[in-house]
Chain A
Amino acid sequence: MPVKITVQEPLRKLLDNQPVVEMCGSTVGDIFRALRQRYPYFVERMTEPDGSVRRFVNVYVNEEDIRFLQNQQTAVQDGDEIRIIPSIAGG
Chain B
Amino acid sequence: MDKQPGFMKALKCRECGREYPLTATHVCEFDFGPLEVVYDYDKIKGALTRATIESRRKSMWRYRELLPTAGEPTVGLEVGFTPLIKADRLAKRLGIRELWIKNDTVNYPTLSFKDRVVSVALSRAKELGFTTVACASTGNLANSVAANAASAGLKSYVFIPSDLETGKIVNSLVYGANVVGIKGHYDEVNRLCAEIAGKYGWAFVNVNMRPYYAEGSKSMGYEIAEQLGWRLPQHTVVPMASGSLLTKIQKSYQELTKLGLVTDSKYSVHGAQPTGCSPISVAQKAGLDFFKPVKPNTIAKSLAIGTPADGFYALKVMKETGGAADDVTDDEIREGIRLLAECEGIFTETAGGVTVGVAKKLIASGKIPSSDSAVLCITGNGLKTLDAIMGHVGQPREIRPSLREFEAMLESENKSAISA
| A interface with B by C-beta (< 8 Å) | 6, 8-14, 45-46, 54-58, 60, 63, 65, 67-68, 83, 85-91
Contacts and interface: CB of A to CB of B under 8 A. Distances in A.
B135 A91 contact: yes
Nearest to A9: B198
Contacts of A83: 191, 195
A90 B307 contact: no
A46 B32 contact: yes
Secondary structure dominating the interface of A: mixed
Interface stretch (B228-236, B261-269, B290-298): B290-298
B210 A89 contact: yes
23 contacts: A8-B195, A10-B25, A11-B27, A13-B29, A14-B29, A46-B32, A54-B32, A55-B290, A55-B312, A60-B191, A65-B293, A67-B292, A68-B295, A83-B191, A87-B34, A88-B26, A88-B206, A90-B141, A90-B241, A91-B136, A91-B141, A91-B186, A91-B242
Contact of B34 (A9, A85, A86, A91): A86
B191 A90 contact: no
B318 interface: no
Given A9-B198, A68-B295, A88 B25 contact: no
A65 to B, nearest CB: 6
B308 interface: yes
Interface residues of B, number: 49
Given A55-B290, A89-B310, A90-B305, A45 B32 contact: yes
B243 A90 contact: yes
B32 A63 contact: no
Contacts of B312: 55-56
Nearest to B303: A90
B188 A88 contact: no
A54 B31 contact: yes
A67 B306 CA distance: 11
Contacts of B34: 56, 86-87
Contact of B32 (A56, A65, A89, A90): A56
Contacts of B308: 90
Nearest to B313: A56
Interface-centre pick from A6, A12, A45, A91 (highest chain B CB count, 10 A): A91
Given A13-B29, A45-B30, A90-B309, 13 more contacts: A10-B29, A12-B198, A54-B33, A63-B191, A86-B32, A86-B34, A87-B34, A88-B190, A88-B207, A89-B244, A90-B308, A90-B310, A91-B241
Given A10-B29, A56-B32, A56-B312, A91 B138 contact: yes
